[in-house]
Amino acid sequence: MAPNLPAWKAARIDQILTNGVDIDLRALAKEFQTTYKTICQRNRKLKSQISPLNRRRHGPPPVITDDMAEYMVSLLEREPDLYQDELALYLYEAYDVDVLAN
C-alpha cells in the first residue's frame, strides 16, 4: 500500500487545484511525486465540495419561470379540478407561452 500524502503536500495540491487555473494533472502528480489517480481523486472531491448544485443542466432550458409556477399554484388553489390542458391555456393567455408545443 502506498503511503499517505503528507499534510503539507495535500494542502498545496488542493490550493493549486482550487485556483481555477487549467493545469496538467499528470505534471502536478509528477511534481509532487504522487500518482495521477490520487490527483484526479482529490480534484473530483474538491469540485464536488465546491459546487454540488452548480451542475450543468441537460436538455433545453425550462420554459416555465418562477412567476409562471406561482401563477399555476394560485390557479390550482382557486380551481383544484383543472386539467393540464386547461392550465396550459391559462398560461398561454397570461404569458403567451405554449407549454404543450412539441
pLDDT of residue 31: 92
Q: Could you tell me if residue 67 is inside a domain? A: yes
**64/92 same-domain check:** yes
Q: Could you tell me if residue 21 is inside a domain? A: yes
Q: What is the pLDDT of residues 4-32, one digit of tens each?
A: 888 999 999 999 988 877 889 999 999 99
Rounded to two decimals, the pTM is: 0.49
Q: Could you tell me if residue 37 is inside a domain? A: yes
Q: What is the pLDDT of residues 17-72, one digit of tens each?
A: 888 778 899 999 999 999 999 999 999 888 887 665 666 777 888 888 999 999 99
Domain that holds residue 16: 7-50
Task: Name the domain count of the chain.
Answer: 2
Flag whether pLDDT at 73 surpasses 90: yes
**37/76 same-domain check:** no
Q: Could you tell me if residue 2 is inside a domain? A: no
**What is the distance between the terminal CA atoms of the chain, rounded to a whole angstrom?**
56
**43/68 same-domain check:** no
Secondary structure string (H, E, C) spanning 17-43: HHCCCCCCHHHHHHHCCCCHHHHHHHH
